[in-house]
Homo-oligomer: A and B are copies of this chain.
Amino acid sequence: MTASRSWTARRDNKLERLRAASAFADGKVLDSARMVEALEAILRSGDRVALEGDNQKQADFLSRSLAEVSPEKVRDLHMLISSISRPEQIDVFETGVAKKIDFAYAGPQSLRVAQLLEDGQLEVGAIHTYVELYARMFVDLTPRVALVAAEKADRRGNLYTGANTEDTPTIVEACAFGGGIVVAQANEIVDELPRVDIPGDWVDLVVKADRPAAIEPLFTRDPRLITEQHILMAMLAIRGVYERHGVVSLNHGIGFNTAAVELLLPTYAERLGLKGQICKHWTLNPHPTLIPAIESGWVESVHCFGGEVGMEDYIAARSDVFFTGRDGSLRSNRVLCQLAGQYAVDMFIGATLQIDGDGNSSTVTSGRLAGFGGAPNMGHDPGGRRHASKAWLDMKTDPSPTARGKKLVVQMAETFQKGGVPTFVEELDAVGVGKAAGMPIAPVMIYGDDVSHVVTEEGVAYLYLAADEDERRAAIAAVAGVSPIGLRHDARRTDDLRAKGLVAYPEDLGVDPAEAKRSLLAARTIEDLVDWSGGLYRPPAKFRSF
């Protein structure tokens, strides 16, 4: 009954390609000057190729080399790029070298993605969340070739990913053990690595990049830009959500609202006696605005998706708080941090650009196929969670003996965005964008039925207490100000909702809006953050105004 087919075709074919590439390599080390030829030797038309484009780190030497590959030699690649952020990642679709893409986020390149899609030059497999794209690499999207970025490599192929680990280990694992070819660019090829993050046995080829891999400081919020409105919302959130439910472990988005929360912990929240009661364990990138809370002893642990430019020395000096390697530098890991953010924390709180009357929200607002990133992975109630915490049990309103708690999923938004554009809308732009792009479902970021609270400058809506959809809509309307959704609300109904605890306004929470001043922030400038860090935080040039 044994079949006569080959069962090692992938491995045999891989060895054949590596033999072809060996003309451009000394052992495992490729000649940087011949990278384009090497790629032409390694790649075959139609290959599925994971090109590391993370939230922050980009394998840009490899993506720029790929953009020079001749479409006569290699065509119709199927690209897997978690975060598309560089123009050459899209150029390859214009030349015909690539044809199909699966991705999770396309911020800066989203207009071009939409245009190429319309022109039929690009085919979208699906728009994923981060973890679901990696998950599929172990199921039906295993990459044939992975092009990744490390900080340092040695000649045996061992990699040091350093502070910005992000997705590298996961992509490499899927490709290496799936019989694919792993090529890593490194800023340096050295004899001795500070530590081995990825074993050389998993890596086929390394190459010295022409310049260090591009890293974006995406998680730095300048406290100067935090407004009194942000501060008011942060006060409402601290009293109405963090304090009320005893939120001990959490994830913060990168908005100014949550940056304000971080900067109010050592001042406002400290005065409320909340130190040690809330905000002890964090899953997030190393936000500089977290420094004052760390220095004031609020923070027990921080596990990170990736790093943040300028935070390296500070982190190395705070190993009791951050996950670090024996060399002292940060160890991050996007998949594991997403897992922690999904299953292990009490709360996800993030900002959004649009919310509809049912509480669905999206950052897709302008005909752009921006994608989801990782927010949906953490911004939902994980059905596979079984352990309880105070905050989680607080969300249990059903008296049934088989009822369970819920994760807190909090959407925090001003009722209007800049320029007077309402945040609360009748229909998300995402619905139209999805239709126009032929997507099978609308690109909703966080679904309303997962949202437990909405916080605006008007107050807090406790959606988990709503008896039905109608009450849920009324509670959202009650905090939506004079937006189209907010104008729907009926003052009498709102009084009733306040009495029932579904809506709380500042006075209901003991928050005095007059107190919402910038003087309440533990740091009001980047320079203050540097001071708090004892000079260890070294902000990138664009944030240095002092």
A344 in contact with B196 (CB, 8 Å): no
Q: Cα distance A384–B136 when bound, in Å?
A: 14
Q: Cα distance A148–B225 when bound, in Å?
A: 48
Q: How far is the CB of A299 from chain B (nearest CB, A)?
A: 11
Q: A135-B344, A320-B8, A383-B381 are in contact. Are A442 and B126 (CB under 8 A)?
A: no
CB closest chain-B residue, reference A291: B1
A139 in contact with B384 (CB, 8 Å): no
Q: A139-B345, A388-B126 are in contact. Are A380 and B383 (CB under 8 A)?
A: yes
Write out, one digit per residue, whether chain A residues 445-469 have a CB within 8 A of any chain B CB (1) or not (0): 0011010000000000000000000
Q: Cα distance A36–B214 when bound, in Å?
A: 49
A447 in contact with B402 (CB, 8 Å): yes
Q: Cα distance A172–B444 when bound, in Å?
A: 36
Which of B126, B320, B427 contacts A401, CB < 8 Å?
Answer: B427
CB closest chain-B residue, reference A396: B441
Which of B126, B342, B387 contacts A126, CB < 8 Å?
Answer: B387
A319 in contact with B283 (CB, 8 Å): no
The verdict on A376 contacting chain B, using a C-beta distance below 8 Å, is: yes
Interface pick from A236-244, A321-329, A511-519: A321-329
Contacts of A423 in B (CB 8 A): none
The verdict on A360 contacting chain B, using a C-beta distance below 8 Å, is: yes
Q: A7-B319, A295-B3, A337-B138 are in contact. Are A404 and B303 (CB under 8 A)?
A: no
With a 10 A CB-CB cut-off, give which of A135, A140, A178, A326 has the most chain B CB atoms: A135
The verdict on A197 contacting chain B, using a C-beta distance below 8 Å, is: yes
The verdict on A385 contacting chain B, using a C-beta distance below 8 Å, is: yes
B177 in contact with A384 (CB, 8 Å): no
The verdict on A134 contacting chain B, using a C-beta distance below 8 Å, is: yes
Q: A139-B345, A380-B384, A387-B136 are in contact. Are A3 and B297 (CB under 8 A)?
A: yes
A402 in contact with B360 (CB, 8 Å): yes
A443 in contact with B386 (CB, 8 Å): yes
Which of B9, B198, B321 contacts A7, CB < 8 Å?
Answer: B321
Write out, one digit per residue, whether chain A residues 260-297 have a CB within 8 A of any chain B CB (1) or not (0): 00000000000000000000110100000000000111
Q: A2-B534, A387-B126, A396-B441 are in contact. Are A140 and B344 (CB under 8 A)?
A: yes
Q: A384-B380, A447-B383 are in contact. Are A339 and B135 (CB under 8 A)?
A: yes
B387 in contact with A333 (CB, 8 Å): no
The verdict on A335 contacting chain B, using a C-beta distance below 8 Å, is: yes
A372 in contact with B344 (CB, 8 Å): no
Mark out the residues of chain A between 518 and 536 whose CB falls within 8 Å of any chain B CB in the assembled complex. 531-534
Q: Cα distance A383–B248 when bound, in Å?
A: 23
Q: Cα distance A532–B377 when bound, in Å?
A: 41
A378 in contact with B384 (CB, 8 Å): yes
Mark out the residues of chain A between 59 and 98 whose CB falls within 8 Å of any chain B CB in the assembled complex. none
Q: Cα distance A522–B501 when bound, in Å?
A: 61
| CB-based closest 10 A-B pairs | A380-B383, A126-B387, A2-B534, A196-B199, A135-B344, A135-B343, A177-B331, A132-B343, A177-B323, A377-B384
Please, could you name 26 A-B residue pairs with CB atoms under 8 Å apart, sorted by A? Answer: A3-B296, A8-B320, A11-B319, A129-B343, A131-B339, A131-B343, A135-B339, A136-B343, A136-B387, A138-B337, A139-B301, A139-B344, A140-B281, A140-B301, A176-B325, A176-B326, A195-B202, A201-B325, A376-B383, A376-B386, A380-B383, A383-B450, A386-B441, A401-B442, A402-B448, A404-B447
Contacts A3-B296, A127-B387, A335-B336 known; 13 new A-B pairs at CB < 8 A: A7-B317, A126-B387, A135-B342, A135-B344, A136-B340, A136-B343, A138-B336, A139-B281, A140-B301, A179-B320, A201-B325, A376-B385, A393-B440
Q: Which residues of A contact B (CB under 8 A)?
A: 1-3, 5-11, 102, 125-129, 131-132, 134-136, 138-140, 142, 158, 170, 173-174, 176-179, 195-202, 248-249, 280-281, 283, 295-297, 300-301, 303, 317-321, 323-326, 331, 333, 335-337, 339-340, 342-345, 356, 358, 360, 372, 376-388, 393, 396, 401-405, 427-428, 430-431, 440-444, 447-448, 450, 531-534
